[in-house]
A and B are shown apart, each in its own frame.
Chain A
Amino acid sequence: MTDIALTSVPVDAPALPKSRGYLATVGRRLRYDYVTLVFLAVIVLIAAAALLAPLIAPFDPLKTSMAYRLKPIGFRNFLLGTDELGRDMASRLLYGGRMSLLMGLTPVAVASVVGGCLGVVAGFFGGRVNTVIMRTVDVFYAFPSVLLAVAISGTMGGGVLNGLIALTLVFIPPICRVSETATTQVRHLDFVDAARASGASGWRIVVYHILSNVAAPVFIYASSLISVSILLSAGLSFLGLGVTPPTPDWGQMLANLRQAIYVQPLVCALPGIAIFVTSLSFNMVSDGLRQAMDVKS
C-alpha cells in the first residue's frame, strides 16, 4: 500500500473550496442528516410537552379516583387510560417527563463541568497531580455504573437530590478520563509551546488553547451519557430510590403499575415506552452529532 501514496498524487487537484468555520461545517452536515433531525425534533417535542405540562395536561396528575381505577386506553376522557389509583395516565406521563428530563440532563451537565475540569487539571499539570486524580478515578471505575448509583443513593436514601448526587458521581470518572486524554494529547503540541514561548500564562493557555480542543470530545461523550442517565435515573425511581411519590416520574410509574400487568397490560407498558423513546432519541442525536463534529469515539 505504501507505493500507492507515491503514485496517486492528484495531478490537477481541484481548487479547495473556501473554508467555512468549524461550527458552520458542523451545521451544514447536520442539515442533511435527516435521521438526526427527526430525532432532534422528537426531543424538542418531548421537552416542550414536559415544560408545558400544566397548560396541556387534561387532568390533575395527582387527583385520584377510586371509581376510575385502571381504565383502558381511550376510556371516556382518559386518552391513555388511568393508573392503579385512578389518576389520568396522559397527564401523569406529561408531568413525569419533567422529572425524567431533569434527572437525565442535570447529572450529565454537572459531571461534564466537574469531570471536564478535573481531567484538564490532571492532563495539563501531569506528574503527581495527574496520579492523584486519575488513580482516584480508577477506583470508581471498579464499580459498574448501576451498582455505584444504587450503592450511593441506596445508602443515602431515596429522594431527587440524592439521586442527582449519585448519578453525578457516576458520570464524573468517565468524563474525567475523556477530558484527561484529550488534554494530554494537545498539551505537547507545537501551538501550545508557541503560546507559552510568546509569554501566555498557564491560565490563558488552558482557557484559550486547551479548552477549545477538549470541549468537543467531552461534549460528544457527555451527550452519549444522557441516554444512560435517563435509563439509570428511571431505574433508580423504579427501585424506589430517586423520585418519591406522589410526584409522577416514568420509572416510578412503571414500578407502581407492575402489579397491574394482569389487568391493563397496555397501560402498564406506557411509561416504559416514554423512557425508551426519549433515551433512543438522545442516543441517535448523540451519534449524529459525533459524525457531524467528526470526533472519534
Chain B
Amino acid sequence: MAKTKVIERKPLTFAEKTFIPQIVGGLKTTFGAMLKKPITLQYPEERPKIPDHYRGVPTLVKDPNGREKCVSCQLCEFVCPPKAIRIIPGEIDAEEDPDRAHVEKAPKEFDINMLRCIYCGLCEEVCPEEAIFLQDIFSTSGYSREEMINNKEKLYELGGTLPDQHYKWDKKKDAEEKGNPHH
C-alpha cells in the first residue's frame, strides 16, 4: 500500500494574501525578459542554421565531374508514398558522353511535384546511385500548381554537386587501364 506523506502547508502571510509581493516579482520577471536579447531572426535576411541531414526539398545532384548520377532506375518513383515523382527514362547522348552511352541510362524527364511531396526522404534512402538528396531548402513558393512541379533542370540547379565518396567512373577507368579480374 502506498504511503501518503502529508506535507504541511504554511498559512499565507499577510503580505502573501495581498498578492502584491508576487505581482512585484512578476513585474521583475517580465522586465528582465524585456532586457534580454530578442530570439527572433529577421527571417528573409537572416536564415536559421540548418543542421546536417535535414530533410528539405528533394534535389538531384551531379558527381564531381559534372555527370548526372541518376540512371533513371525509377526506384524512387516506385517508393514515393504520395507519388510525387514522375520519371521518363531516356538514353545518354552518345556524342556528348561516349563512355557512358549505351552503358547507363539517364532520365529524359524527372519531375517532383512539391505539392505532393511529404519530405519523407524514402527516395534518398532507396537511391542506389546516391543521386537524390533532401537538402537544406525548407520553403518553396509559386503562383500556380505548374510552378510547384520541379522539373529536371530545376532539380539539378537546386542540387548542385555533393562530395562523392565513390567515383564510380574513375574506378571503371582504373580497372580498364590496370586490369581487374572482375571486369
Q: Do A and B bind each other?
A: no
Residues of chain B touching chain A, judged by Cβ–Cβ distance below 8 Å, are none
Residues of chain A touching chain B, judged by Cβ–Cβ distance below 8 Å, are none
